Structure 1
Amino acid sequence: MLKQYLKKTTALVLFGMVGFMAVAQSNSTTKEKPKPRILVSSDIGGTDPDDFQSMIHLMMYSDLFQIEGLVSSPFGDGRKKHFLDMIDLYEKDFPKLTTHNKNLTNPNDLRKVCKQGTIPSAPFKGYSTATEGSEWIIKCAKQKNNQPLWVLVWGGLEDLAQALHDSPEIEKKIKVYWIGGPNKKWSINAYSYIAKNHPNLWMIEANATYRGWIIDSESPKEISSEAYYGNYIQGRGAMGKAFKNYYNGNVKMGDTPSLAYLMNGDPNNPLTDSWGGSFTPINRSSRNVFERNTTIKDTVAAYAVLEWRFKGPKMNVPKDSACFIFEAGGQKWPGYCLGEGVYAVRYSSKKQETCTYVTTSSIPELNEQKGQFVSTIPWPGKQTPDDYKLGKHWYGDRQEPELFLEQQQGAKTISKFRSEFLLDWAKRWEWLN
């Protein structure tokens, strides 16, 4: 009788323990945060080598993300091949890396999601024709998933604008962190299309905050841009060897804050601290439309959309045909025919400056149009009737004077985490020692 009682008691205890462990395991699984779904749109291989550095960083932290797309959206000579070249380097280091972290993404899985996006910049209307990259954005965004797709834009907005034009409903399924600034200048028409037609997009527009990675005046010397390579990267694997090819190994990685934003902090609340900065809601995007040549008396906000419209002959050419060149700061942009004898060009200044411009064209009325303007900070600047009105989920650089780093608005919201971030990365470089 006693034996039977003990057997029953033991069985009940064991059953209870198994049940408790199952519940505990279930609760643990429930509480575990899912990995963010990300798609990177990059101008890797284009005009700025820092995307190569950011790609190395992404692959070394690939265990933290569901990487659903790597879209080549270049300005310049960048192509999908440049993604694939970096993955080849990662593959060489992969066996050693996975002895320390078995959850890193397999190189072949990364190759499968590499897509070629648009090569030319968007015309005045802001979109053109679908690309492999824009269609992939749509496909990923439409997947049935409780999580949003984070679109991290390291260059131009062309493929994102095309995707939103072709499938407007994805606006509600994505969240965007865009490294603007100079990229806004090159991608001004695509930006204008999105701001005008998709103001309710969930968007972080980082025009200056990201420079908290680049400006290292407040960092310890051992992790300065020049010293970090020698102290933590040199001699470590194929990726470490290749890192020297970009800015001579000086750490720039101006696009990495978009990724770091998802690594540390609450990404659903841009107002709070994170490795990728903190931001403020903005309900408008500065825009100025001029139907005349501007002068030094004209003051605009840095990062504003500037649009000049000129009168010319009524020509039998398709709308959005490039008919003149606008040159400012030694760089050139196409100007377009809008029809009915109206021609226009857009530009955005990436800093506070006094800028001089001139046009060239075979059309006499559009040739040698000259002018100046002065751009100032912070952004958005003084309100104008031309501003794009934005929804409640568009965020920009913080404007408090104490958060400026040099002339860069909001940059201190990132620079204060620079040491923490880079020393964390140094631990992963040690895996390749």
Structure 2
Amino acid sequence: MICNKSILLAFVGIFIFFGSSSCHAQLNESAKPRVIISSDIGGTDPDDFQSMIHLMMYSDLFQLEGLVSSPFGNGTKKDFLDMIDIYEKDYKQLLPNAPGLLPPNLLREITKQGQKDAAPFKGYTTPTEGSEWIISCAKKKSDQPLWVLVWGGIEDLAQALHDAPEIKENIRVYWIGGPNKKWSINAYSYIAESHPDLWMIEANATYRGWFMDNDSPDELKAYAFYENYIQGRGELGKDFIHYYEGKIKMGDTPSLAYLMNGDPDDPTGESWGGSFEKIQRSSRNVFKGGSSLQDTVAAYATVEWRFDGPEINVSEDSVVFEIEAQNQTWPGYYLGGGIYGVRYSSKGPEQGYYKISSPIAELDGLEGNYVSTVSWPGKVTPDDYQLGYNWYSDKQDPALYIKVQQGAKTISKYRKEFLMDWAERWKWLEK
């Protein structure tokens, strides 16, 4: 009877919290962090599915207010919904151990479709269901900030900030950058230039400490954790094998773990989700006419190439050329007045080569090189975006690197703690 009563009380509390489909309702005060997840689940990297399983199994620890499907890749909100369907099959078995776990139907209600494509050069386009949901939740009356945890493209957050810049006062952002920054470089540049006073943790490399095995005991290495602690446990356990053959990656989970352990108000402190330092600028290099191997930029910096060409009769921000770099292709834009531009960001140190393809003869075939190096944010340049007081990023101390991954040891040193904590929850699904 005690167990049933606990479950009933949990449902009553959840009903009060989610009774309205609008995020305008006033929150009941709670110690649980308010959270929106923006994810490229179903996109180019399957690790978001692993992170979603982890999130649902820990949903009792959060006031989860939104699941937004954002780029890059072919993912949609259906990928969220498919994962919720699997969670529903295990929900009754999980619930007695954590009565606050969120019911599947309520997770479905807060799942929203965001932007499907990367932003153009200006960094934003038109509102989406996801960006409007971020605004609505951010405007909710509460004495707590809304944590926007970005696991993929940052387009929906950029759109929300463009449409309602006043929400900056109410939100805090933890973004898994690195490769995601490469795909969302236009949206990121818009935020850094137009909203430098945003409260932001920009984790470009620290998050990799979650899955790098260098200092891990054998039983917790990526290839072993599934066999030791997940295999044979519920429908979620059956599904986990479909992503990286069960090997632990979950590169976005550090954003959630940051709220689970430590003091979220102090990014410089210790946390399962990493430790960070303030940065006052975001590295940016603008090359007019191209670059060469003599041009060195910081890894994760905004690299912007500008080219002169003919004035053409198309609207500004029209795609008129492509640039190939590191075997991947990005769109280039007409900026008006005979100026053409494209942005790029390396996901780590690299010696890169680029080449342009375009029906515009003056651009077609242009090529060049660049070198990106750690540490971020690198040397000061006159093109840097100047940031406000609350922008944090990977710690630069070389002692905290794993190989070239800046700050990764601030997470990896807690690997045993956070994985064994999760292993205890997997026990709930044993038959």
Q: Give the TM-score, by structure 2 length.
A: 0.93
Aligned partner (choices 350, 366, 373) of residue 376 of structure 1: 373
Structure 1 residue 33, shift from structure 2 partner: 6.3
Alpha-carbon separation, structure 2, partners of 1:369 and 1:69: 44
Aligned to 1:39: 36
Structure 1 runs of 4+ off > 3 angstroms?
Answer: none
1:203 and 2:210 equivalent? no
1:242 and 2:239 equivalent? yes
Aligned to 2:347: 350
Aligned to 1:103: 100
1:253 and 2:288 equivalent? no
Alpha-carbon separation, structure 2, partners of 1:135 and 1:101: 31
1:325 and 2:339 equivalent? no
The answer as to whether partners of 2:289 and 2:308 remain within 8 angstroms in 1 is no
Once the two structures are superposed, residues 218-237 of structure 1 have per-residue CA deviations (whole angstroms, 9 ceiling, x without a partner) of 01100100000000000000
User: Aligned residues, how many?
Assistant: 402
Q: Using a 3 Å threshold, how does the CA distance of structure 1 residues 340 and 186 change in structure 2: closer, same or farther? A: same
Q: CA RMSD in A?
A: 0.8
Aligned to 1:81: 78
Aligned to 1:149: 146
Equivalent runs, 1:159-198 vs 2, <5 Å: 159-198=156-195
Structure 1 residue 214, shift from structure 2 partner: 1.6
Structure 1 residue 335, shift from structure 2 partner: 0.3
Structure 1 residue 74, shift from structure 2 partner: 2.1
Aligned partner (choices 54, 57, 68) of residue 57 of structure 1: 54
Alpha-carbon separation, structure 2, partners of 1:62 and 1:306: 38
1:300 aligned partner, one-letter code: V
Once the two structures are superposed, residues 201-253 of structure 1 have per-residue CA deviations (whole angstroms, 9 ceiling, x without a partner) of 00000000000012111011001000000000000001100000000000000
Once the two structures are superposed, residues 252-271 of structure 1 have per-residue CA deviations (whole angstroms, 9 ceiling, x without a partner) of 00000000000000000001
Structure 1 residue 356, shift from structure 2 partner: 0.4
Aligned to 1:412: 409
Alpha-carbon separation, structure 2, partners of 1:56 and 1:391: 35
Aligned to 2:17: none
The answer as to whether partners of 1:180 and 1:207 remain within 8 angstroms in 2 is yes
Aligned to 1:6: none
Alpha-carbon separation, structure 1, partners of 2:148 and 2:96: 30
Structure 1: unaligned runs, 5 residues or longer: 1-31
Structure 2: unaligned runs, 5 residues or longer: 1-28
Aligned to 2:396: 399
Counterpart secondary structure, 2:97: coil
Counterpart secondary structure, 2:137: helix
Aligned to 2:300: 303
Alpha-carbon separation, structure 2, partners of 1:76 and 1:294: 29
The answer as to whether partners of 1:53 and 1:253 remain within 8 angstroms in 2 is yes
Identity across the alignment (%) = 67
Alpha-carbon separation, structure 2, partners of 1:120 and 1:156: 9
Once the two structures are superposed, residues 133-158 of structure 1 have per-residue CA deviations (whole angstroms, 9 ceiling, x without a partner) of 00000000000111000000000110
Aligned partner (choices 222, 225, 231) of residue 225 of structure 1: 222
Once the two structures are superposed, residues 320-358 of structure 1 have per-residue CA deviations (whole angstroms, 9 ceiling, x without a partner) of 000000100110000000001000000001111100000
**Which one has the largest radius of gyration?**
1
Aligned partner (choices 122, 126, 132) of residue 125 of structure 1: 122
Q: Give the TM-score, by structure 1 length.
A: 0.92
Equivalent runs, 1:257-268 vs 2, <5 Å: 257-268=254-265
Alpha-carbon separation, structure 2, partners of 1:56 and 1:322: 38
